[in-house]
Every structure is written in structure tokens, then in C-alpha cells.
Amino acid sequence: MTYQPSSERYQNMEYRRCGNSGIKLPAFSLGLWHNFGNVNNFENSRELIKTAFDNGITHFDLANNYGPPPGSAEENFGKILKQDFKCHRDEMIISSKAGYTMWDGPYGDWGSKKYLASSLDQSLKRMKLDYVDIFYHHRPDPETPLEETMAALDLIVRQGKALYVGISNYNAEQTLQAVKLLKHLGTPCLIHQPKYSMFVREPENGLLDVLGKQGVGCIPFSPLAQGLLSDKYLNGIPKDSRVATSGQFLKESHITPEILEKISLLNNISRQRGQKLAHMALSWLLRDERVTSVLIGSSKPEQIIDSIEALKNTSFTNEELQTINTILK
């Protein structure tokens, strides 16, 4: 049966201007870091994309190494696009990245022009696309001149292989340098993707200020700190949780008594607000107008629908914010 998207898909999603650009992004974007590799159930991956699109999520975020194995998330996304979204490509923002190890040898990692250009060519083949909407440098390279990395991003746009470029995991100082170089080249930096949540607040140490002043969008990843900012771990570690099943990024040792106490106190505030803790954690990020969109991950379609519930209450009183800051300190 041919997929027919919901005719009401744009009615309940909020769209936010991305920095000084002409692009608006949905308040929530779907990240394909987990649950889209060859190790995952393809039909479930397909349902996740359809559910997101049916609910106004137009932005789908990938990287060359997403899987596992690396590259398989892009391949599977390409198959889903071909099967279900042929007529809807122009309603979608599709992004990919390069910057982590992708293939053997000296040209399969970091930030050289050789690596970035080659990697994007491979990504486009895997997804069977002519271009991506956004291409990111995934992490700063301490050994390649920043001028070369930014020139590669500029080249990729001039070649028509990406419409916009962004950076990820750069600190405030690196971001300012990158933004200025790109501006000088004539390809402005559209967006920055930092790790940011109630538990990881480094972007508040200057990065958000740089983005605000320079007119660059911000799209936090890991907004729930790998699921810690939910009620999932309040009564022990569930058998189907990420800690129990993979333990690769979130380990049992991360769930300390101190962290559990913070989660419990935050959960009390969220209940007073009439929200789940996960909803409050997402709302807390979206309360800042410098944040354009928040990247959510999902293993089940209903989790996507649930996350969108956070949009019902994104305002906080000063008292709530002060109490949250006290808990997080």
C-alpha cells in the first residue's frame, strides 16, 4: 500500500527560524543515530520515519558513521525515501555529517578537504540523493587548519551537494572562528549541533551567546542525556533500557545515587508542572529562543508522538528555573 502522509501533519508542530537564515526547522527533529542500522528491524525504522513526518517533523539527521555497521543508517534511510517519500523530498530537510572514523587509512577521518568531500559523495550514493540540505563537520580537527575544513564546506555548497553547512561539537571559541571563516568565504554557517541537556550544560559557557550574536541556529543532541532525564531509571534499570541492552554510551556506573537523587527532585518539579520529566527536559531546552530545534531519538513510533507533547508547556517561571538550577548544581 502506498504511504499517504497525514493531511494534518503541519497543524500541531511549531517551526522556528534557524538563525539569520530563510530556513525554519520543526521544534523537534528526528536523529537516526540509533535504531536505523542493519542490526535493527527495517519495518520499525520505516514506521519511525513515517510517524515523525505525519506529526510535522520535517528534519531527519544522519551521519556517515551511523548504523551499525557504519553507513547502514544512510542506506536504510535511502530505501525508505525511495519507497515512501519520492513525492515529498522537497518537504524534508535531510542532513548528514563527517568527522569521525569512517574508513581505513589517513583519509577516512577528521577534517581534511579530501575526507569531507569523499565522505559526502559516499553518503549521497547510500541515500540515492543528489544533495543534502545540511552537511556538518562532525567534530573539530586539531591537526587540520580550520581554513581547510571550512573551505571544504564552502566547496561542497558551491558544487551543489549541500544547500547549507553546519558544525558540531565545536566549543565557543572554535565556533566563532569557523563562523567568521565561512562568512568570509560567502557560505554562512547555518547551524551548530552541540551536546546539551539539563545534565550537560557546557553550551551555556559562551557557545549559546556566540550563536545568538552571529545568527547561527542551535540543535542540541542527547537532550535526555541518553534517557537519564526521564522516569525510566527511578525504580532501577529496566531490562529493555539502553543501559541494559547496549551499555555502549550510557553505562550502569553512570547511574550514581547522586544522579538518581537529582532525577527524583526534577521529577517532582515536572509533576507539579503537569508534565513527565522527559517532557520538562525537552521544554527546558526549547524555552531558550537561541535553540532552533531539539534532536530526539526513538525506538518506537509512540515515543515520537509522546515527545511532541512537550510543546504543550515550554514556559517556566523564574522560581522553577531557580529550583532546577539549584538541583543541577
Q: Mean per-residue pLDDT for 141-154? A: 98
Place of cell 557557545: 207
Domain borders along the chain are: 15-233+277-315
| Residue 94 β-bridge partners | 60
pTM: 0.95
Least confidently predicted of 73-82, 197-206, 232-241: 232-241
Mean pLDDT of 285-301: 97
Which value, to the nearest 10 degrees, does the dihedral of the CA atoms of residues 129, 219, 48, 312 take? Answer: -140
Per DSSP (E only), the strands in 2-151 are: 15-17, 24-26, 28-31, 59-61, 93-98, 132-137
Q: What is the DSSP string of 90-127?
A: GG-EEEEEE-S--SSSTTSSTT-HHHHHHHHHHHHHHH
C-alpha cell, 321:
528555573
Amino acid (1-letter code) at residue 144: T
Listed residue (54, 36, 19, 34) closest to 293, CA to CA: 19
Contact by Cβ (8 Å): 51, 300: no
Confidence at 1, pLDDT banded by 50, 70, 90:
confident
**Which has the minimum average pLDDT: 35-49, 96-110, 126-140, 234-248?**
234-248
15-233+277-315 has CATH 3.40.50.1100 classification: no
Q: What is the pLDDT of residue 313?
A: 96
What is the predicted pLDDT for the residue at 247?
Answer: 57
CB count, 10 Å around CB of 201?
13
Q: What is the pLDDT of residue 22?
A: 98
Q: According to the model, what pLDDT value does residue 251 have? A: 66
- pLDDT recorded at residue 248: 62
Mean pLDDT on 172-197: 98
- The pLDDT, as a whole number, for residue 240 is 65
Q: 168: helix, coil or strand?
A: strand
Q: What is the pLDDT of residue 113?
A: 98
Confidence of residue 14 (pLDDT cuts 50, 70, 90): very high
Q: What is the pLDDT of residues 239-270, one digit of tens each?
A: 666 665 555 666 677 788 899 999 999 999 99
DSSP annotation of 202: G
Beta-carbon contacts of residue 220 (< 8 Å; ≥ 6 apart)? 193, 194, 195, 196, 197, 203, 285, 291, 294, 295
DSSP states along 289-310: TT---EEE--SSHHHHHHHHGG
